[in-house]
Structures are given as structure tokens and as C-alpha cells.
Structure 1
Amino acid sequence: MDALLEDLTALLGPGAVLADPSEREKYETGWRYGKGRARVVARPSTTAEVSAFMAYCHGKGLRVIVQGANTGLVGASVPDEGGAMAVLSLERLNRRMEIDPTDRTALVDGGVLLSALNGALAEHGLHFPVDLGADPQIGGMIATNTGGTRLLRYGDVRRNLLGLEVVLADGTVVDTLSALRKNNTGLDWKQLFTGTSGLYGVVTGAVLQVAPLPRQRAVALVALSGGGAVLDLLRSLEGGLFEVFTAYEVISGEALAAVFRHQETLRNPFDEVPPYTALVELASSLPESSLDLASLLEEALGAHMEAHGEGVLDARFGKPAEFWAIRHHVSESLRGEGRVLAFDIAVPRSGLPAFTEAVKAWLGREHPFMRVCDFGHWGDGGTHLNLVWREADSPLPAAELVPRVQRKVYDLAVLEHRGSYSAEHGVGPHNQHYHDLYTPPAVKAAGAALRAHFDPEGLLGITRLW
């Protein structure tokens, strides 16, 4: 251990290498799942240092787990329990942040935080529009292909990624930091590393496409009678307001009621909690003098209510920050209701009501003490299906109940509704079994061949995608 510390300190400099258990602890514990033990934590501050570190680990056969801001939800960002892995933290790899307002691009280090990037972009009237509740690093967002609440308008990270710099497992640096939006010359290198959990290489830099900051937003909370009404309103808004329609977040009655039970500072705008509530957002870079979004939204909802009066129960207009606060406090509030089993599911939008009802019907027969508290990004087919119960009401211990319920819910999503067991959280130890179960053999074979090319010794990560 002394020789390892001495070698790595020589490579990375004083303060960059952590070996004391008290210093390592925060790097060994995941945000929601996963806790392991690291042999050492390395924190390089340049791409050259990442390269030197990876070359050293490759020569020693030392396995590495790459860690960004450690905000992932599937346990893929922490070491295993063996105590032999090195954590490569990118928290100090945050020096580059080159903004080009003309190209509308930002070249950043992989360790730059989303909040820091948006703070710098705001000075130019720009933002990186992949919006989510956590504050991840850009490298981690690329490795997991983050979606977020405004995917409906702006797309995911993959759609906004122009160029990439990657350090491979043997220390090789591959620089494709291009700002080109059009480059039809063959293999799209950057996409091999997007959404593949960092298993092919370490993302040390990226060129991102950024967008103008909206000058105005208009939001409404719409009370709806059920899943069919949710989709009717979605179709209506897309048909009439597509150019300014930026978000469509849906909260079930069970989830919304939990928010108002546990968040005393948040006000319920409705007389009664409806079966479903849609948070609708419009945004535009045009000033109000050119386009009055608030009036446009009121008119569109009024017209829809006349045409679908039985599906729309009520509508409220308000300040964006206040309505988004309701949406962003759902997960926290559900934890106050009891034990929570959270799913990150995607199915085609048209199938969301049927999928949700199928889960409810099965639970009603098999586990009636569990409540479905769903919410999420219905505009892009994503739902955070949360099952909540009081452990005192369950005849089964959680260790037996959870895998039984997980398998059934995932079977319903993947096999019966042509969906995904991981809409946006990625793959890690928490859901590794389901990746093995549902991934077609041909996809596994292709992924394994690429892994053998980029990391033949299998030194990167703990997830077994292939």
C-alpha cells in the first residue's frame, strides 16, 4: 500500500490521493444503492493525469471504478466490497469551460458540474437544457445518457453531444472534441461511450450543444380524470403548441397527496386531489411583447376543456417555481409514507395507462397492501413507478417481497408492453440481473466485442453489461 500511494502521489501530486478510511468513505457509498470498499481514491485534475493514472493501473492490473458526482441511482458509481478497486474521482477535473456563443457550444472537462456549466452559460444567455433534480458532472451525464424533465423539447444528452475526449483503460487518449453538427464520415465514435456506464473508457472532456435561455415560461397544473385524459391533453398540446411545448410531467393522485401531507410549505391548488395532475410548461426565447405564452396556454387549455370536458377536471395557472417545487418534492414525500420500491420504467406513451393499470391489478390480487404512487415524464414515455407500503402490513419480509415484485413489474414493462426496465438511470449492480435477463443475445455479443477491444483486461467498472 505504501508503494502504491507513493507511486500515485508522484503521478498526481500532493492531496490527489486518498487512502485514509475516513477520507474514502464518501466515495464508497452510493446515492441510493451500493456501498463498498476502495483500496485508494485518486483525484486527477487534468486529462494527462487521468491518462497517467489509467496507464499505471493497467500495468499493475488494478481495477478502477470511475466516479463523477456520485448521484447515480443504480449502484454503478461505487467500488465492490472486496477492497481491491481504485476509485477514480473526477471531482477535480473541472478546469476547462470554453463557451462559444457563435457556435452555441461549450467545451468542458468531464468533471464540470451541471450547475457550474449553467452558471457560466447564463452570462451569455445560454443553458445546457438537460434538466434534472440532482447536480451531476457532465462526464457522468454522458456515461448514463441523462434525460431529465425537458427531454420532450430538447432531447437527452446523446442528442446534444457534439464531441468527446476519452481515456481508454490502457491510458490512451482519444480526442474527438469536434464542434461539428454535421459529420457524416462513418462511425460516430462519441456515441459508443454515451449511455454505456463508463465501461469503454473515461470521459474527460466533451463539446456540448447548448441552447438560448428562455425569456419567458408559462405553467399550469391540470387536473385530469385518468390516464386516457392525460394522453388526450398531451396530443392536444403537441398538436397546437409544439414549438413552445417544453415539459409534460404527470403526478398520480396518490403521489400528489403525499406531497401535501409532508411538505407544509407547498399549497394544494385544487379543492380535491385529482386522479392525475399534469404539469404543463411552455417556454420561448421570444419576449412577451411578441408572444404571450400565458395567454396562449390559457386559450389552448380552454379549447381542450370544451372539446374534452369530461376528462379535464380543473386547471390552475401560477408561478413556474411554485409548481415545479411540487413536482420535485414527490420522491422525498413518498419516503415519508413508508417503505418505497422505486422503478424507472419506459414504455411507448400510448401504453402508459394500460401498463399502470396492469401493475395495479396484479398488486390488488397478490399484494393489496402496496400502493402505486406513480409520477414522471409522460411526455417522453417515462414513469417513476413507486410502490409504497408499511412493512407492518406485509406478510412477507422485504428481502422476499422486493425481488418477487420487481420481476413481475419488469416482465409487464419489457415483455408485455415493449418497454424498458431502465428509462434513464442506466445499468448497475442494482438492476444487473434484469439486464442479463432481457437483453437480446446479439446485443450482448456486440457489446462484449467492443468491451474486449477497449478494455480487454476488464479493469473498468463493476457493471457487467456484456
Structure 2
Amino acid sequence: MTREDKALSPFNEHIAALRSILSDEGVQVGADAAAYEEGARFDRGVAAFVLRPTSTAEVSAAVSYCVRNEIPIVPQAGNTGVVSGSTPDASGTQAVLSLDRLSRNLRLDIDNRSVRADAGILLSDLNAALEPDGLFFPIDLGANPRLGGMLSTNAGGARFLRYGDVRRNVLGITVVLADPEGSIVTLGSSLRKNNTGVDWKQLFIGTSGAFGIITECVLNAERIPRQNAAALLVPSTPSAILPLLREIEGRVGEYLSTFEAMSGNAIRLTLQSIPRLKNPFVGGQVPNYVLLVELTRTWEPRDGEQSLDKVLETALAEIWDTQPDLLADALFGPSQQLWMLRHSIPEGLKQSGRLVSCDLAFQRGDVMKFCDTVTTELPIRFPGVIMCDFGHVGDGGVHLSLVAPHGSEAALNPDLEGNLRSWIYEKAVNDFGGSYSGEHGIGRKNQAYYDKFTPERLKSWARAMKAVTSPSELGVPRLG
């Protein structure tokens, strides 16, 4: 369906009706809808129209209308995902329901250390509102998503090791179901303990909007770290990374908030693509692997207390003395500066060529074994493709980014992405018992793999849940 076809579209009657429910600004079409039709990884579709409600009641009314008129809905939060889970397909028959105007309400309960917020609020805006009271929402992401998207995909982030994922930090949600009534359901509350039956809110967290649209949430807030220390560590070999993690955990305990790995290829391409970044390595020689380690405390420094810089230095010195074969080098520096390198990698790789990003998870001890296997086999199976792995080794996660340089034969191969994903996912799931989607959910890019790897019994359960909660077409993944 082209934009020109829309002028004669049967949706015009629905657009007029929905504008009477949401206002003219609440329904976008044509050029005004374009920003909602393209995702963060350039996936693009065509929306019949875009709905922009401002309240749970408006979401309910819009969903009810679409369900009664058999119009499929694609919920969209910040549209920062990478698996085509928040954009419409090319049919021009799906309505995008954006949460971008559902961002008016935010109420902090400082005694309960919780915050009630609309699902359309940006992560950065939430943290800006919490900062004056010394609090933050402890999910650290390179992107700036909206809360509804974070909950629907169960985002993890770079400080998972310390704070866990979104699921661990949600107390309650309000959901609109895709049924003829647009039913509004409140699940959970501000209570931190309530063991009175099934925790129904978890059904909607991490399921990509298939069972309902989250419109409001009650979140746990944590104290902002007031002290930190960070370093870039160079392991002697990739096989030393997990032993290093165990040694550091044993020496610094709960102070450890981050243990991130970055391959040399990922760093080199990022430095080439983003000239403003400073190369921190001696002589500009990037090691094969680099670890970003960070320690944090939530209180102000006390007189006589050993600083975190000293805690980290002492721990590393002990490792050098007792396990000299694990650590080749350590570079200390301001935490913000070291994080800049890590957070720049996704953008740097995107600029480096045709990018195929796989979000994988393993048992911690299998991460580097998997990466070693792919490093060996990739040049044989896919010549010219560069492996650029990075991510959350401390929790078993790895972003396996595969780059075909601009203009290369591999980059021009229309089947490259499908062939790469199939090979990587088969190896991750079948050979290593891993997950093909550690953080980013299903979406159109991963639908075929959900269908392939999910046991039939679990799919039948999902179909049953879908029939109970949101029987009409909602969201991109088909969990049944």
C-alpha cells in the first residue's frame, strides 16, 4: 500500500471516528505518521494511521474501537528496539498505537522508594525527576526508551549484575486488553510483598505487548551511587575473562555493579567511526578483549574509609600476585569517560557497514566458549564479515554484532542477515543451550525462531493466555 492509496483508503471513516475520541492531534496519518513507521535499525512499514492517546482511558477507548472494527494494533513506546517489534508491516492495514503522549503523570513515594509513572515517560525524564531526591531507576541502557517498552521487553542493561532486570524492579502495572471493551486491568500495587496468589503482572512483562498494552507502572527506585571507581582491564586471554570475574566478585562483593566485555574489533570500528572518541590504549594498540569494571557505593565518602579507587586497585593487585596469568593490564580513569567508549559501540558499528545484531544469553561460563567457536567458523562460512562482540558478560549476555563493511560482497548479499541469524541462533540454542533473545524480545526479526525453538506445549499455553487476555490482533510477536 502506498501513501497515495491512502487518500482512497477505507480507513478514512475510522480515522474520523478515532479523532472524535482522541482529538485531531491524537490521530496521525500521511507524512505525520512517517516517524512512527521506521525503527531504530531502519526497519520500515506503512501504518494505516497512528494513535497517540494521552491517558489510560483514551488507550482503552481507542483499543476498543479498533478491536470492534477488526483493525490490528502495533503498540509502540520509544521505538528504540532492534527486532522490528514496534513498527508496522508493509500492508498498510495496522494501526500504530504510540505512547509518546502518555507521559503526564509521575508521582514519587519517597518513603516506599517507589514511583508511579505513565508508560510513555522516557527513561531520561524519569531519572531527571528522581534525581533531586537522590534516586534513580536502575536500568542502564545506551538508548533512551519509554517505560512501557522497557517493561514489555523486560530490558536488562549494563548494571544487571547489581540491580537485575526490569522484571525485578516492577511492583505494579495497569494494562489495557485487546478485547471489545478495551478492558483496563490493574495488577500489583505499591506493595513490595504480597504473596496472595499468582503474580499476574509478570504475564505482561517481557512478552512484547502480545497480551496487553501497559499504560502505567509502579517501579522500584534505588539510591543514586555517590562513589564509583572504574577501570579497563585487559585479560591475558579470552579464557581468562570468567576466572577474572570470579576473582573480582570474591574481592569486592556487592560493590561490583558492572562487568562488561568489548572485543578489539568492536572497539577499533567504533574508534574509526566516531573520531571524537579518545583511544585510551598505549600507542593506540587496541587489545583483543577489554573489560569495563565498575564499583559503586550509594553513600558519600566517609573520613577514614578506603576509597573505591583503592578498593579496586587493591583487588587487582591481589589478583596479579595470586593469579598472574589472568590479567595483562589495567587502565584507570573517570567512570564517565570509560563508559563513553562502551556506550558508543552500537552507534559506531551501525556506521561501519551492514550490521546484523544478535542479542544472545548463555550460562556465564559458556559466553567466551561460544564467541571462540564463532570466531573460528565465521571466516569460513561468511567471508568478509567482521565479528564484533560486546556486552554483559557478568550476567551471561553478549551482543554479537556482525558487520559487513560498506561496499563489500557480503554487504550486497540480500540473504546475508537471514543466513547469519539462522546459523548463529542454531549454534547458540542447540549447541550451547543459550537464548537467541537475551533482552530485546521477539519482534518480526525473531518470530521464525520463536516458532522453531519454543516447545509446542508452551506455545499452546501462550495461545490460551492470549485468548483470555487480548483475543484480538495485538503486537508484532505471535507467542502462540
Q: Which TM class, normalised by the smaller chain length?
A: over 0.9
Task: Report the equivalent of 2:26.
Answer: 16
Task: Report the equivalent of 1:155.
Answer: 164
Task: Report the equivalent of 2:301.
Answer: 288
Task: Report the equivalent of 2:433.
Answer: 418
Task: Report the equivalent of 1:349.
Answer: 364
Kindly indicate whether residue 122 of structure 2 is the aligned counterpart of residue 113 of structure 1: yes
Alpha-carbon offset, residue 410 of structure 1: 0.9
Taking only the aligned residue pairs, the percentage that are identical comes to 42
Task: Report the equivalent of 1:297.
Answer: 312
Structure 1 pair 90–395 and aligned structure 2 pair: CA distance change class (3 A): closer
Please say if residues 101 and 120 of structure 2, whose CA atoms lie closer than 8 Å, have aligned partners that are also in contact.
yes
Task: Give 1:81-92 correspondences, 5 Å limit.
Answer: 81-92=90-101
Kindly indicate whether residue 251 of structure 2 is the aligned counterpart of residue 236 of structure 1: no
Please say if residues 347 and 420 of structure 1, whose CA atoms lie closer than 8 Å, have aligned partners that are also in contact.
yes
Task: Give 1:351-370 correspondences, 5 Å limit.
Answer: 351-370=366-385
Q: Secondary structure at the match of 1:399?
A: coil
Q: Secondary structure at the match of 1:258?
A: helix
Alpha-carbon offset, residue 86 of structure 1: 1.3
Count how many residue pairs are aligned between Structure 1 and Structure 2: 464
- Quick one: distance in 2 between partners of 1:252 and 1:45? 43
- Quick one: distance in 2 between partners of 1:420 and 1:81? 28
Alpha-carbon offset, residue 391 of structure 1: 6.1
Alpha-carbon offset, residue 207 of structure 1: 0.4
Task: Report the equivalent of 1:25.
Answer: 34
Alpha-carbon offset, residue 297 of structure 1: 0.6
- Quick one: distance in 2 between partners of 1:336 and 1:86? 31
Q: Which amino acid aligns with 1:276?
A: Y
Structure 1 pair 462–260 and aligned structure 2 pair: CA distance change class (3 A): closer
Task: Report the equivalent of 1:320.
Answer: 335
Task: Report the equivalent of 2:287.
Answer: 274
- Quick one: distance in 2 between partners of 1:141 and 1:396? 31
Q: Which amino acid aligns with 1:437?
A: K
Please say if residues 219 and 280 of structure 1, whose CA atoms lie closer than 8 Å, have aligned partners that are also in contact.
yes
User: Residues 139-178 of structure 1, C-alpha deviation per residue, up to 9 Å, x if partnerless?
Assistant: 1100000000000000000000000100111211112350
Please say if residues 404 and 410 of structure 2, whose CA atoms lie closer than 8 Å, have aligned partners that are also in contact.
no
Structure 1 pair 18–339 and aligned structure 2 pair: CA distance change class (3 A): closer
Once the two structures are overlaid, the 10-residue window that deviates more, 253-262 or 48-57, is 253-262
Alpha-carbon offset, residue 294 of structure 1: 0.9
Task: Report the equivalent of 2:5.
Answer: none
Please say if residues 359 and 436 of structure 2, whose CA atoms lie closer than 8 Å, have aligned partners that are also in contact.
yes
- Quick one: distance in 2 between partners of 1:263 and 1:361? 28
Task: Give 1:16-415 correspondences, 5 Å limit.
Answer: 16-19=26-29, 21-170=30-179, 171-271=182-282, 272-289=285-302, 290-390=305-405, 393-394=408-409, 397-415=412-430
User: Residues 189-211 of structure 1, C-alpha deviation per residue, up to 9 Å, x if partnerless?
Assistant: 10000000101111011100110
Please say if residues 136 and 224 of structure 2, whose CA atoms lie closer than 8 Å, have aligned partners that are also in contact.
yes
Please say if residues 428 and 463 of structure 1, whose CA atoms lie closer than 8 Å, have aligned partners that are also in contact.
yes
Alpha-carbon offset, residue 187 of structure 1: 0.9
- Quick one: distance in 2 between partners of 1:160 and 1:111? 17
Once the two structures are overlaid, the 10-residue window that deviates more, 61-70 or 97-106, is 61-70
- Quick one: distance in 2 between partners of 1:195 and 1:353? 26
Please say if residues 33 and 430 of structure 1, whose CA atoms lie closer than 8 Å, have aligned partners that are also in contact.
no
Give the RMSD, CA atoms, in angstroms: 1.6
- Quick one: distance in 1 between partners of 2:74 and 2:383? 40
Please say if residues 219 and 282 of structure 1, whose CA atoms lie closer than 8 Å, have aligned partners that are also in contact.
yes
- Quick one: distance in 2 between partners of 1:429 and 1:45? 27
Q: Secondary structure at the match of 1:35?
A: coil
Q: Which amino acid aligns with 1:409?
A: I
Task: Give 1:414-453 correspondences, 5 Å limit.
Answer: 414-453=429-468
- Quick one: distance in 2 between partners of 1:30 and 1:64? 16
- Quick one: distance in 1 between partners of 2:353 and 2:237? 25
Please say if residues 410 and 416 of structure 2, whose CA atoms lie closer than 8 Å, have aligned partners that are also in contact.
no
Please say if residues 352 and 406 of structure 2, whose CA atoms lie closer than 8 Å, have aligned partners that are also in contact.
no
- Quick one: distance in 1 between partners of 2:445 and 2:173? 28
Alpha-carbon offset, residue 386 of structure 1: 1.5
Structure 1 pair 102–430 and aligned structure 2 pair: CA distance change class (3 A): same
Alpha-carbon offset, residue 359 of structure 1: 0.9
Once the two structures are overlaid, the 10-residue window that deviates more, 255-264 or 350-359, is 255-264
Please say if residues 383 and 410 of structure 2, whose CA atoms lie closer than 8 Å, have aligned partners that are also in contact.
no
Please say if residues 267 and 345 of structure 2, whose CA atoms lie closer than 8 Å, have aligned partners that are also in contact.
yes
Alpha-carbon offset, residue 243 of structure 1: 1.2
Q: Secondary structure at the match of 2:445?
A: coil
Q: What runs of 5+ residues in structure 2 fail to find an aligned partner?
A: 1-10
Please say if residues 354 and 411 of structure 2, whose CA atoms lie closer than 8 Å, have aligned partners that are also in contact.
no
- Quick one: distance in 2 between partners of 1:91 and 1:2? 23
- Quick one: distance in 2 between partners of 1:3 and 1:394? 48
User: Residues 385-444 of structure 1, C-alpha deviation per residue, up to 9 Å, x if partnerless?
Assistant: 122233655479522333222212111110111101111111011111111111111111
- Quick one: distance in 2 between partners of 1:391 and 1:37? 27
Once the two structures are overlaid, the 10-residue window that deviates more, 134-143 or 57-66, is 57-66
Structure 1 pair 72–300 and aligned structure 2 pair: CA distance change class (3 A): same
Alpha-carbon offset, residue 136 of structure 1: 0.7
Structure 1 pair 391–270 and aligned structure 2 pair: CA distance change class (3 A): closer
Q: Which amino acid aligns with 2:22?
A: L
Once the two structures are overlaid, the 10-residue window that deviates more, 401-410 or 204-213, is 401-410
- Quick one: distance in 2 between partners of 1:402 and 1:111? 32
Q: Which amino acid aligns with 2:171?
A: L
Q: Secondary structure at the match of 1:54?
A: helix
User: Residues 318-356 of structure 1, C-alpha deviation per residue, up to 9 Å, x if partnerless?
Assistant: 111110011111122223433322211111110111101
User: Residues 125-149 of structure 1, C-alpha deviation per residue, up to 9 Å, x if partnerless?
Assistant: 0000001011111111000000000
Once the two structures are overlaid, the 10-residue window that deviates more, 57-66 or 128-137, is 57-66
Kindly indicate whether residue 14 of structure 2 is the aligned counterpart of residue 4 of structure 1: yes
- Quick one: distance in 1 between partners of 2:165 and 2:94? 31
- Quick one: distance in 1 between partners of 2:65 and 2:330? 60
- Quick one: distance in 1 between partners of 2:129 and 2:306? 27
User: Residues 27-61 of structure 1, C-alpha deviation per residue, up to 9 Å, x if partnerless?
Assistant: 11111153111111111101111111111112111
Structure 1 pair 7–285 and aligned structure 2 pair: CA distance change class (3 A): same
Task: Report the equivalent of 2:7.
Answer: none
Once the two structures are overlaid, the 10-residue window that deviates more, 36-45 or 388-397, is 388-397
